[in-house]
Amino acid sequence: MNVVPAETWKSLTSNLKAVTEEPEPALPSSTKPELPSQSPELKFYLIDIQQHIDFPFQTQKEKSGTIFLFGKVWSEKQKKFVSCTVHVHNVMRTLYVAPRERAIRDTSIVSTEEEIDIEKHVIPELLELRKNLGIPKMNFKPVRRKYAFDEPGVVQGESDFLKVVYSYEYPEVPDKSLRGNSFAFIFGTKTSPTENFIVQRKIMGPCWLRITNFQAQSTKLCWSATECHVEEPWCVLVDSQGMEPPPLSVLSLKIQASVNQVEKKSEIVAISGAIHNNVSLNRPTKNQDDIKTFTVLRKLKNMALPTDFDEMIKKSEFPIRLEGNERALLGWFLCKVHLLDPDIIVGHNILGYDMDVLLFRLKENNVPHWSRIGRLYIPKMPNMHFTGGTSAVQRSLIAGRLGCDTYLLSKEFVKLKSYSLSNLTSHLLDVKKDEFDVEMVPQMFLTSDSILELCKSTVVDSILNMKIMFKLNLIPLTKQLTELCGNRWVRSLTGARAERIEYLLMHEFYRSKPKYVLPDRIAWKGETKKEKPKYGGGLVLDPKVGYYDSFVLLLDFNSLYPSIIQEYNICFTTIPRSKDSKGDWVEVVPPPSHVEKGVLPKVIKKLISNRKAIKEQIKTSSDQDRKEQLDIQQLAIKLVANSMYGCLGFTSSRFFAIPLAQLITTKGREALKSTANLTTNQLKLEVIYGDTDSIMVDSKTKDLVEAKKIALQIKKMVNKLYHEMEIELDGVFLGILLLKKKKYACRIVREIPGKPFKTETQIKGLEMVRRDWCPLAATMGTHVVNLILDGGEKGIEKVVEELHQYLRTQASEVREGQIDNSCFIITKAISKNPEDYSDKGLPHVNVALANKKRGLPVHSGDFIEYVITTGEESVALRAKNPDQLGGEVKIDFEWYLANQIHPTISRLCAPIEGTDSALIAECLGLDPTKFKIKEKVSNDFRLPTSVRLSDKEKYKDVARLTLKCPQCKTEQGEFLGVYQEPNENEPKNDGEHFFRGLTCKNADCGYKFTLQFLKNKIQLLITQAIKKHYVKSYYCQRCSLQTQQYWVKNGKFKCTKQSCEGTLVEKYDHIALLLQLSYYRSLFDIDRALNRSTVENQLALKKIYTTHAESCLVFKEITQFMDGILKENNYNIISLKKLFSFYQ
């Protein structure tokens, strides 16, 4: 059993070193803490901040007013940086009380007629409140502050506030007391000690601090190497000298668990760690392979180890430690963590599952000194419930060590269909890594070789986690984000984008002169029901669907929303906001040009200016290390600037402001619409699509130089309208298949200096890039896209021929089992815990529930992988985890062909003439009668001449127009229209041969069909076609049932037959009806006939039409008659004039 491929093992472990074995040290809790330095000032590099944790031997004051600073200090004794914890005592609550202008009721202190005086009226009322809350001491100080937010009753602008300071050991002011008779509101009651400390001490993320007046701890409260405390927060100062940060120690963990089938609990059987002691914080780490590893394994209960196991351990390529049981394994592991003392613990899904399992197994086994997993000494583990996801409480138990989850962070910085470890390593590292089946763990203890493979798997996973961290630059990138915003690094490592922006704005408003009173944090109320947006979002222009084979220009506004904030000076401080009598926000307008720049525009301008300066440094720098460092900085700035708008529209943000968010999106829509209109009206170019901040323009040329000149014209014309907003050429497409909003495929041009340009296929919004479609559908879809995009060169007939042959070949390979099982895996995210879904008929939910029963980690936000297997049950019940394939569990190839491949290909080919849903089904070996035929008849759809079909092919399935002479009753047969395309063996220039007149073919009769006769005949046929459409008969794509009954599920008509989950489609839908009407019109359209004929036939036809002028007049009358019919029945046209005619 080879769990780890040999080439993978060799490539990852060739430079590995074993972690030196060391005896377990004496427990630090029994020794006096070591003082970090003998000098009067301590140079301390801050990594993390943690609020107090309840220690049983601390006083309430020490618990409530203390925060812990975790970081690194230089040790002269050890000649290296070591871990250090600084306890900061007496962090105080800081409140700001906003006085009213008048009291709201008469009291013995104040009357409603008096102006409120802080000393005379507000302080006495607060003293009464202090007495009621049992707070012995409050300090008061009147101050001048600014306020610019939306708390009702609080005066906007600069005014007098009362600053109130008291200890965190006393209770906060309850919500019912936040408003008083003499004061409008009390701000800061829910502000945490950490937030107060960070903002007031102006700490911007990881940085060097100067710690003064520090003292030794009398009792050791931490597992760090050194420890001290300060009595006041002002003893902590930011060191502005800008020294290089020290390297950090990173431990990558893989915890291998197995389900105890008797107790139904996950138990730990092995842990591997990879340690790197020199990880850089400002740039990519050098010597990334300088990794040491350890592995600890335990025996399984009631299972003896193989007799040759001890000999196998001695010969192992890497060290393996064997323990007798889980408790001993965990104890040895904690000792190893304490000895290594890592600053960061990294793992794949470590915060979502592994840490949860570890903490619960530590508690279950009553392992002593379990808190060594973090850096705070905690005697007793709090009560917890196993949730399959590490909660905030559980994360606080590893305080002092940063948790870096490669699963969580890769979802923020990389776009993939799946974030499993195997998929991440494949895409990021080009390393093959199979997923490990935890159900196989007990069986792997049967032989020494399989136990070794189990250990290899855990070692490889720990190394891969480290390499993914390095590849994505997760440590320096999140550090840069944290330094920009001034939040806690540990929060940046868990995403928390909204919180980052909150901290950035809090710092900016606090640094203003005078300072601003900040809005209070909005308490998290748990998951709420999704609501519709309360204001309009970005504008999406209707696409002019079709295939364009010329150069198409993509022009994009740089950072549109941040630029709008600068352009129109949008900020809390510049735009007054109010509500109407109904309580709805009144729409706002930008401030006048003379208004001073607000805080938001200033922050964004600073960010963008810094980014531009950094990008210039990257261009001029010759130092590769410096370039990499600068690139991380500019990427961090970009992420922060683009997130700025989000805090205004995020309901859980303390800076949530609907009027400002609405104004920004309104100006964005105006900019896009204005750009499209200017391009169309002034440059006479066609805008084929637009979305939020970009437009696509058809250049109508196949000359790249000319196309770029056109882009430059658009850019100059648009940019002169703005000061801060700027549009740029973001891409050039040579051929684009535009299907609908946010769905298109194109060939993007890649220019290489001194060489001919190349093109790459780019796909947006289609099935091929969505997770809930299998890789096989993506592969085949991409191939078909490339065939279509090549259509201009090959011709449509050749493209359709190749397409059909490709589908036949692929279908055959699928059925013969020649396609790898991994190509059938479907991935879908669960938005909540699987038990919370009311609809258990969803395949991914069923698989998630089954995974939990098997002991696999599952929680909200996970991406669930599954395959559909054969059987008679519903699709949901036939969905299985891919690792369950084998034996009787086989993939249902027919289901995939019908439900994954066919829909993908059919949608892509919808605009292509010469194929349809039924033909595609036939090529895939499916029953074509079960699939709806979709014809391409939209007048809006654009196709180059090279990919148009003949009328014969286009109208092959419509009802034909046949005539019968009203005079001699002779059947005239099918009326072929004013022009019939010749066959290859027919003459090419005999116009008479192709002309169809209006005379009875019976030579003895000679009757000429009149205009009224033809109108009546066509009107009758149209009435019959419309009636056929409104009968609304359906058939099932799965079981072929024909019915007029249906039931609706998820907006689709579902089959009424029991046990069938097929979708019903109309037998004769609006598209088929429109095609029929279009056919009748085509028979009489002289201009169309001329345009579609060859040049040599056009001359002959014009001569014949002149000779038969009387018949041509009838043809034109019928064409106009059909235009009227089509105008009334065209489903995609709405006449507003007609719709509102009753108002006239």
β-pair type (292-298, 265-279)? antiparallel
Instruction: Compute the Cα dihedral for 449, 451, 452, 456 and give only its sign.
Output: positive
Highest mean pLDDT among 29-38, 235-244, 323-332, 533-542: 323-332
Per-residue pLDDT at 546 exceeds 50:
yes
State both tokens at 931. 């699939």
Which residues share a beta bridge with 102? 115
Q: Per residue, what are the HEC states of 461-496?
A: HHHHHHHHHHHCCHHHHHHHHHHHHCCCHHHHCCCC
Separation CA 601–CA 345 (nearest Å) = 38
Convert the pLDDT of each residue in 94-106 to its tens digit.
Answer: 999 999 988 887 7
DSSP structure class, residue 597: P
The backbone torsions φ and ψ at residue 44, rounded to the nearest 5 degrees and listed phi first, read -130, 125
State both tokens at 472. 């994505």
Separation CA 399–CA 373 (nearest Å) = 9
User: Looking at residues 533-539, what average pLDDT do you find?
Assistant: 75
How many percent of the chain have pLDDT more than 90? 33
Which residues share a beta bridge with 668? none
Per-residue pLDDT at 454 exceeds 60:
yes
Separation CA 258–CA 256 (nearest Å) = 7
Per-residue pLDDT at 1062 exceeds 90:
no
pLDDT, mean over the chain: 83
Lowest-pLDDT range, 329-338, 839-848, 889-898? 839-848
Convert the pLDDT of each residue in 243-295 to its tens digit.
Answer: 899 999 999 999 998 887 777 788 899 999 999 999 999 888 888 888 999 99
Residue 22 pLDDT: 45
Per-residue pLDDT at 1140 exceeds 70:
no
- What band does 203 get if pLDDT is binned at 50, 70 and 90? very high
Convert the pLDDT of each residue in 857-913 to its tens digit.
Answer: 777 777 888 999 998 888 888 999 888 888 888 999 999 999 889 988 888 887 777
Convert the pLDDT of each residue in 1020-1048 to its tens digit.
Answer: 888 888 888 888 888 776 677 788 777 77
Per-residue pLDDT at 427 exceeds 70:
yes
State both tokens at 578. 């109010």
The CA-based diameter of the chain, rounded to the nearest angstrom, is 126
Per-residue pLDDT at 937 exceeds 50:
no
Which residues share a beta bridge with 1115? none
Residue 659 pLDDT: 92
Lowest-pLDDT range, 107-116, 317-326, 512-521? 107-116
State both tokens at 280. 């850089």
Nearest residue to 373 via CA among 407, 346, 333: 333
State the distance between the two ends of the chain, measured CA to CA, in whole angstroms.
Answer: 82
Per-residue pLDDT at 489 exceeds 90:
yes
Residue 533 pLDDT: 55
Convert the pLDDT of each residue in 775-823 to its tens digit.
Answer: 898 889 888 888 888 765 666 778 888 889 999 999 999 999 899 988 9
Residue 800 pLDDT: 84
Q: Helices 6-13 and 448-471 meet at what angle, rounded to 10?
A: 60
Give CA torsion, residues 935, 937, 940, 943, to 10 deg.
70
Which residues share a beta bridge with 229? 87, 215
User: Looking at residues 338-353, what average pLDDT do you find?
Assistant: 90
Convert the pLDDT of each residue in 706-761 to its tens digit.
Answer: 999 999 999 999 999 999 999 999 999 988 888 888 888 888 998 888 888 888 88
Separation CA 150–CA 144 (nearest Å) = 19
Residue 347 pLDDT: 92
Residue 24 pLDDT: 46
Q: What is the pTM of this model?
A: 0.76
User: Looking at residues 609-622, what average pLDDT do you find?
Assistant: 87
Check: CB of residue 298 under 8 Å from CB of residue 328.
yes
Separation CA 1045–CA 1053 (nearest Å) = 9
Domains of the chain from N-terminus onward: 6-22+247-472 (3.30.420.10), 32-245 (3.30.70.2820), 497-523+535-764 (3.90.1600.10), 767-930 (1.10.132.60), 960-1031+1070-1138 (1.10.3200.20), 1037-1067 (no CATH)
Per-residue pLDDT at 687 exceeds 60:
yes
The backbone torsions φ and ψ at residue 66, rounded to the nearest 5 degrees and listed phi first, read -115, 140
Per-residue pLDDT at 1111 exceeds 80:
no
Q: Helices 406-413 and 448-471 meet at what angle, rounded to 10?
A: 40
Separation CA 379–CA 54 (nearest Å) = 10
Per-residue pLDDT at 1086 exceeds 60:
yes
Indicate the SS3 state at residue 830: coil
Separation CA 576–CA 588 (nearest Å) = 8
User: Looking at residues 1090-1098, what average pLDDT do you find?
Assistant: 59
User: Looking at residues 840-849, what average pLDDT do you find?
Assistant: 85
Q: How far is CA 14 from CA 7, 8, 17, in A?
A: 11, 10, 9
The backbone torsions φ and ψ at residue 29, rounded to the nearest 5 degrees and listed phi first, read -65, -20
Residue 326 pLDDT: 92
Lowest-pLDDT range, 7-21, 388-402, 419-433? 7-21
Lowest-pLDDT range, 125-129, 204-208, 417-421, 485-489? 417-421
How many percent of the chain have pLDDT more than 70? 85
48: enclosing H helix or E strand: strand 41-51
Check: CB of residue 1047 under 8 Å from CB of residue 1056.
yes
User: Looking at residues 18-23, what average pLDDT do you find?
Assistant: 47
Residue 828 pLDDT: 87
The backbone torsions φ and ψ at residue 210, rounded to the nearest 5 degrees and listed phi first, read -105, 120
The set of residues, in sequence order, having a beta carbon less than 8 Å from that of 790 and lying 6+ positions away, is 799
